Structure 1
Amino acid sequence: MGSRFVLVLHSHLPYVLGKGRWPFGEEWLHEVVLETYLPLLEGLECLAHDDIPAPIAIGLTPILMEQLKSPDFVTKFRTWTDAKRAALEEDVSRLPDTPEVRELNIFYRDELERRRSQFDALGGDVVGAFASLQERGRLEVMTSCATHGYMPLFGNDESRRLQIRTGAAAYQHWMGRRPNGFWLPECGYIPGVERLLAEEGLRYFIADAAAFDTGPGQEYNNGHIPVATSAEAPWKPWDIGAGVAVFLRNPATSQRVWSRDLGYPGDGVYREFHKRCEGSGWQYWRITSKQTDLGSKELYRPAEARARTREDAADFASLLRDMATAHEQAVGDPGVIVTAYDTELFGHWWYEGPTWIVDMLRSLADQASVTATAPMDILNSRILPPGKLRESSWGAGGGHNNWMNPETAWIWDNIHDDQRHFIDLLPQLHGQTGDMLLREILLEESSDWSFLITTGQARTYGTSRFLEHHRKVRALFAAVDGTGQLPASQTELDDPVFKYVHLNDVRRA
């Protein structure tokens, strides 16, 4: 048997439904559905139709599923696409009247109509479409923390447990089965979290290769952990305890897509993300070159981009074959190559990305040396060696600075205070009050608020969203501390997510 290839996609957006529109808010959700999730679903269905063996793993965070399953989202997405259609029609008068521009405008109109028809054919149920592919064995859907909370910085295990348990409960509610895989938000690992995952029957998660502890051999479960170099570690999954495995991202494959200088998305023929038509937001230009300023970008040519996508997909499949061959020659054993990306990179940021994924999986299926495989198929077919991870994340230097720094320390001070108070109150929390507090403290803990502040992408929005949920938590605390029950006026504090999850069901027994 040859080497195995595991493609993992992580899909996440914070809770933005009903929380602003543009430039920050619901527009994010609408764009990634149109540009990423629908094209990806279309491509995966094409692979299924052609009986191409190409299973992948895709994570859908619970808070993302909550929004996608909301009838409010379905209605708003249809309204938004109607507005995008009207804006395309108006672009005819905004842009130069040339055959190339008219042809590109028609290209976008046709694509928008296809996506809208696809959405309507699904009944607006994007999550259900992924669930259907899973039921047919075409992919594995992973879960995550309820609201993408960054667990290494949490103040206690019970707060971590509530994020994990709520995430597992949401998955079962929408997918109709228990999850096997778990995406640690921001790849944030802290020793011992595997015990919490095991409590929910979770079997594996993904981590950066740099998280693997390559120190001296250690005793572990009456066995000995072998020393593995950082180059060797990503080539196999590891048992890190409690019956939980870790798959490590392979740095070489990640670089080929993520790298600003070496990655495929930076090719000049691909569509430019940052230049948009004023008034409509549609993107009519190509990257041209990394040195070309926005004002000098050339017009996008879909046919040229399509041809390059096939070339880059074949190149990536060739890279996997070469890596697998070199590894097997060096160690005498086929390995596992894991590559993991944010799903939204494909389509939203890299317009041609979903097509590249499908082309790459087709190219890989044409040869026998490397086989696309789902994580559980690997775990069910081998005995894993014991390993150990160090506290880590995908952030700069593997640390926590992307979320905890001088600009965001106040957020964590408040989160820790609220977590302590919540845990102290747990024995007396029941019914509606307890459920509301659970929802709001989970939303307060989202990693996105501190990340948006740190990167400066949406500092004001990140600050206001954290404060919104923090103030709701404090108001609910006051209601509990003052009267022991929720005043009728306080029901306006409640956000309509995880309504089927009850504190009594997820608190520690």
Structure 2
Amino acid sequence: MNRKSLVFVITAHQEYICQKESDYLPQNEILFSAISETYLPLLNMFSNLEADGINFKVAMCLTPSLCAQLSDPVIQKQYLEWLDKSIALGEAEVASYKDGDPRKALAKAQLQTNKTNRLNFAETYQQDLLSKFSYYSQKGNIELLATTATNCYLPIFGDLPQAVQAQVEVGLMSHRYYFNSAPEGFWLPYMAYTPGLESIIRSYGYFYSILDSRGLLFADPIPEKGIFAPVRCFNSLVMFAKDGGASSKFDDDYLKLPHKLVYRNQNRDIGYEAETERISNFLNKDNMRIPTGYKYWKLDSDEYYNEKAANEQAKKDAEDFFKEKICKLNAAAGMAEGGNVCSICVFDAQFFGQEWHEGIVWLENVLRLASETEEIDMTQCCELLENKFSFQKVSPFFSSSSDSGYAEDMIDHTNDWMISYVRKAAERMIDLTNRFPSDSGLKERSLNLAAKEVLLAQSGDWAEMVRKQLFKDYAAECFKENVAAFSTVYDSLGSNSISTEWLTTMERKHSIFPWINYRVFSEKH
């Protein structure tokens, strides 16, 4: 009997917004909201499934920048302070409404959620969320994929193999640092593939990666089973394809599910609507408006949110999705003439909770439904590698998960200026490793910082934030700071002088990759 498998891959990433000021900045709210609305609810949901004896299986990629922030004691302290402000705001909100006002009940519910989040973060998880994700990985419930050092669009550096190798190598080192495990799968940021990447990825011991569906549908030769079965490159790196066009109804629903009118409006928050005086104690000293978490309305409506009705709809949507996946896999199995088939569903972690408030409820119901059926198998990519040398050999096509599939929509007049700077910095970093192959002491510290700053500048997050107008000035300044810090080291090595005070300040400010070795940018033989 042919095997029909469903795989969920959840990618968890946060921009490296690491403000160490005692009074955190509005930009920190991006991470704090993600912890409250996505990461804590995910862990709580996993705990519920575990308590009910459900052997759930998903795959996750927790990027190095997210891991660095979640494990940073300063950020952990800032998050608790942010929660305390949220709780104080909630208590004021509850007191401001009369009995019988629907907003009072909604404020109470959010207040209780914030209190529960504080209890879970501080006591249940001891401020260490990564250890809990690692726990479920060791149990086999979560397969952890590794990725690059920063959220880098690798094809931009396709002609600079040392720069790509540095990203892959530091990403692997980071995974081992935080999870103490050897990953089998490699997550390509933006699912961005260009020919030649498979050689670098495989050289670091990975067995598979995941492409956008177009990467296989236009491969040479075209895979016999389309996107419903893994293939292998000519160096035997296995490639899975994201299930996109294979299920057009779900493709539409993926975008439409959070927008069903019964669901909570995630964009309408008292942080944007209330008088400044009412929320002044929550806002930063510059009074920049940011979300508070207190959201009272249904989507596209002035009607107040009904949590019970929304959760019932999420459960129904989970049932509909699961039925459709069974039908699709049965149809694919019929076309495969007896071979195994799989459907790889890829989600941003923020989709569950942050973008779609009821998404966690939906996900939990899908995982419960999967445990109740034998018709399809909900599994992980690492369990689908049996007989991998029998997989069809193909040459994947250039592709990415951007809207068009080929990344031209990721760069426009607002951010195209960044490319020349970061490419020049990468070229110069490669040159530095050739000029200073075995230095130590202060010079080695300087080179390590230079390597770190290049990796940070290579992140696509800065360009994406500028293009999307999300703290665009801040993102542009972060990018400029990374490039300027690298240039400072580059120039100082030429003059053989560097400020120890400046170096120490930058090491403390950008504490990610404390173990980095600048030689990752050297040519590999």
Q: Following TM superposition, by how much is the alpha carbon of 1:262 offset from its aligned partner in structure 2, in angstroms?
A: 6.0
Contact 1:480 1:486 in 2 (8 A): no
Q: Which moved more, 1:491-500 or 1:310-319?
A: 491-500
CA deviations on 1:122-170 (whole Å, 9 max, x unpaired) are 1111111111100011111111111111111125010010011000000
Matched, 1:30 2:25: no
- Cα contact 1:204–1:244 (8 A) shared by 2: yes
Return the offset for 1:114.
Answer: 1.9
Report if aligned partners of 2:400, 2:406 keep a CA contact under 8 Å in 1.
Answer: yes
Q: When the two structures are superposed, what TM-score results if normalisation uses the length of structure 2?
A: 0.88
Q: What residue number does 1:434 align with?
A: 447
In the alignment, the residues of structure 2 paired with residue 486 and residue 164 of structure 1 have an alpha-carbon distance, to the nearest angstrom, of: 31
Match of 1:332 among 331, 334, 337: 337
Provide the residue aligned with 2:289 in structure 1: none
Q: Which residue, out of 145, 148, 170, partners 2:148?
A: 145
What is the Cα deviation at residue 228 of structure 1? 3.2
1:403 aligns with 2:410: yes
Q: Offset at 1:98?
A: 3.1
SS at match of 1:457: coil
Seen in structure 2, the aligned counterparts of structure 1 residues 285 and 259 have a Cα distance that, compared at 3 Å, is farther
Q: Is the 8 A contact 2:166 2:520 kept in 1?
A: no
Could you say what secondary structure the match of 1:5 adopts?
strand
Distance 1:506 1:408, change over 3 A: closer
Give the CA deviation at 1:401.
Answer: 2.0
Q: 1:69 aligns with which of 68, 71, 78?
A: 71
| Deviation (angstroms), 1:328 | 2.0
Q: Does 1:384 align with 2:400?
A: no
Cα distance in structure 1, aligned partners of 2:325 and 2:170? 37
Matching residue of 2:479? 466
Structure 2 unaligned runs (5+)? 283-291
Contact 1:6/1:336, CA 8 A, preserved across alignment: yes
- CA apart distance, 1:258: 6.0
Q: Partner residue of 2:488?
A: 475
- Rate the CA distance shift 1:188–1:424 in 2: closer, same or farther, 3 A: same
State the identity %. 21
User: Cα distance 1:253–1:317, how it changes in 2: closer, same or farther (>3 A)?
Assistant: farther
Query: Match for 2:506 among 468, 489, 493?
Result: 493
**Pairwise CA distance, 1:259:** 3.7
2:25, 2:68 → 1: CA distance? 22
Counterpart position of 1:223: none
- Please say if 1:274 is aligned against 2:267: yes
2:315 paired residue among 310, 313, 322: 310
What value does the CA root-mean-square deviation take over the aligned residues? 2.3
Q: Could you say if the C-alpha distance between residues 260 and 137 of structure 1 is closer, same or farther in structure 2, counting changes exceeding 3 Å?
A: closer
Query: For the structure 1 residues 256 and 484, does the alpha-carbon distance in structure 2 shift closer, same or farther, using more than 3 Å as the test?
Result: farther
Unaligned runs of 5+ in 1: 218-226
Whichever residue aligns with residue 187 of structure 1, its letter is: M
Pick from 103, 106, 109 the counterpart of residue 105 of structure 2.
Answer: 103
Equivalent residue in structure 1 for 2:174, among 164, 170, 183:
170
What does residue 349 of structure 1 align with? 355
| Cα separation, 2, equivalents of 1:262 and 1:185 | 21
- When structure 1 is superposed on structure 2, of 311-320 and 477-486 the one drifting more is 477-486
The answer to whether the aligner puts 1:209 opposite 2:213 as a matched pair is yes
Deviations along 1:190-233, whole A, 9 cap, x unmatched? 1111111112111111111012253664xxxxxxxxx337xx42
* 1:271 aligned counterpart, secondary structure: coil
- Could you give the per-residue CA deviations for residues 15-66 of structure 1, whole angstroms, max 9, x where no partner exists? 1021788885211111101100111111112222222232110011111111
Going from structure 1 to structure 2, the CA distance change for 1:100 and 1:15 (only over 3 Å counts) comes to same
Q: Distance in 2 between matches of 1:373 and 1:425?
A: 45
1:187 aligns with 2:182: no
Match of 2:285 in 1: none
Q: In structure 2, the residue corresponding to 1:263 is in which secondary structure?
A: helix
In the alignment, is residue 503 of structure 1 matched against residue 508 of structure 2? no
Quick check: 249-258 or 78-87, which moved more?
249-258
Contact 2:193 2:211 in 1 (8 A): yes
Report the more deviating stretch, 422-431 or 260-269.
260-269
Q: Deviations over 1:275-302 (max 9, x none)?
A: 00133623433434xxx3xxx4211111
1:179 CA drift (Å): 1.7
Residues 401-452 of structure 1: per-residue CA shift (max 9 Å, x gap): 2433333221001111111111111123442112111111111111011111
Question: Contact 1:188/1:392 (CA < 8 Å) preserved in 2?
Answer: yes
2:431 to 424, 441, 444: 424
Give 2:287's aligned residue: none
Deviates more, 1:495-504 or 1:334-343: 495-504
Q: Output the CA distance in 2 between the equivalents of 1:406 and 1:109.
A: 43
Normalised by the size of structure 1, how large is the TM-score? Answer: 0.91
- Cα separation, partners in 2 of 1:23 and 1:256, compared to 1, 3 Å: farther
| 8 Å CA contact 1:149, 1:447 repeated in 2 | yes
Paired position in structure 1 for 2:304: 299
Give the partner amino acid of 2:430: I
Among 372, 380, 403, the residue aligned to 2:378: 372
